[in-house]
């Protein structure tokens, strides 16, 4: 049995329409994500001693990964983690706005929800080429909006992701073509803020 497997979506592939279309979801999940999983497992076959490591441990400590598979783990391990996280960030109907401790932190640290949206939109639309936009929390419990290239993870910088948006073209091109800003705008309609708030509280309690 392979160490890593493609997780099932927790909603129907057409459940996010009209914001994210069914065909994109099927290709994105069943094809793109599966490729990252397959390539990740293939890389680990070369060094079985790393099969017991968690995915977050692998991508957060790439310097410990053998050099001959390090790039494969960075790209495919990052791709697997980022996509597993992305599917949990999405929810049909969205939860509109954050609540609880996360809402308070966004208000006090980022200037409120609208200011957060502006910063997140800038990070997502400003990411040159393929990559991700993130709302993260640092080791000092400070919220930070950032972006990463390719399949790099916030864990590589010591940050814990709370919300992530895939801005690779495969995530939106069938519906939006080159209109990434429109895709980013519509993402706010399908964010699972309950999930983000839960991750935030667990992160704070773990420190």
Is the Cβ–Cβ distance between 107 and 116 less than 8 Å? Answer: no
**Domain extent at residue 52:** 22-89
Residue 44 to residues 2, 41, 121, 163, 184, Cα–Cα distance (Å)? 10, 5, 36, 28, 34
What residues contact residue 196 under an 8 Å CB cut-off, 6+ apart? 89, 98, 102, 135, 162, 163
Q: pLDDT (tens digit, 0 to 9) for every residue of the chain, 207 residues total?
A: 458 999 999 999 999 999 999 999 999 999 999 999 999 999 999 999 898 899 999 999 999 999 999 999 999 999 999 999 999 999 998 777 899 999 999 999 999 999 999 999 999 999 999 999 999 999 999 999 999 999 999 999 999 999 999 999 999 999 999 999 999 999 999 999 999 999 999 999 886
Residue 166 counted as an annotated binding residue: yes
Which of 89, 109, 134 terminates a domain? The answer is 89
Is 83 part of any known ligand binding site?
yes
CATH of the domain at 162: 3.55.40.20
Indicate whether 72 and 122 sit together in one domain.
no
CB 81 within 8 A of CB 132: no
If asked whether residues 109 and 72 sit together in one domain, one would say: no
Residue that finishes a domain, picked among 58, 89, 120: 89
Tell whether pTM > 0.75.
Answer: yes
Domain match, 111 and 194 both: yes
Output the domain CATH number for residue 37.
Answer: 1.10.287.990
Is 10 among the domain residues? no
* Residue 170 marked in a binding site: yes
Instruction: Characterize the bridge pairing of strands 160-166 and 131-137.
Output: antiparallel
Write down the pLDDT at residue 1: 41
Is 178 contained in some domain? yes
* Claim to verify: residue 104 and residue 190 sit in the same structural domain: yes
Give the number of domains in the chain. Answer: 2
Domain-embedded: residue 17: no
At 96 the pLDDT is: 78
Task: Let me know whether 39 and 121 are in one domain.
Answer: no
Instruction: Respond yes or no on whether the N-terminal peptide bond of residue 18 is cis (omega within 30° of 0).
Output: yes
**Which residue from 156, 154, 144, 143 is spatially nearest to 204, judged by alpha carbons?**
143
Same domain, yes or no, for 201 and 121?
A: yes
Of 66, 89, 112, which residue sits at a domain end? 89
Task: Show Cβ contacts of residue 57 under 8 Å, excluding neighbours closer than 6 positions.
Answer: none
């Amino acid at each position: 049995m392979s160490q890593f497997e493609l997780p099932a979506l927790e909603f129907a592939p057409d459940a996010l329409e009209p914001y994210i279309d069914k065909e994109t979801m099927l290709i994105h999940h069943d094809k793109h994500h599966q490729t990252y999983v397959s390539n990740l497992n293939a890389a680990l076959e070369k060094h079985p001693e790393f099969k017991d490591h968690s995915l977050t441990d692998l991508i957060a400590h790439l310097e410990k990964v053998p050099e001959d598979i390090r790039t494969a783990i960075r790209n495919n391990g990052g791709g697997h983690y980022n996509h597993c996280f992305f599917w949990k960030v999405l929810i049909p109907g969205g939860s509109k706005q954050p609540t609880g401790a996360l809402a308070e932190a966004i208000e006090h640290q980022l200037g409120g929800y609208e200011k957060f949206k502006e910063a997140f939109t800038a990070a997502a639309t400003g990411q040159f080429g393929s990559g991700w936009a993130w709302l993260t929390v640092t080791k000092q419990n400070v919220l930070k909006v950032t972006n990463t290239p390719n399949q790099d993870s916030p864990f590589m910088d010591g940050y814990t992701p709370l919300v992530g948006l895939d801005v690779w073209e495969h995530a939106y091109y069938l519906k939006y073509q080159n209109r990434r800003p429109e895709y980013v705008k519509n993402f706010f309609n399908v964010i699972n803020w309950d999930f983000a708030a839960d991750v935030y509280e667990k992160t704070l309690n773990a420190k």
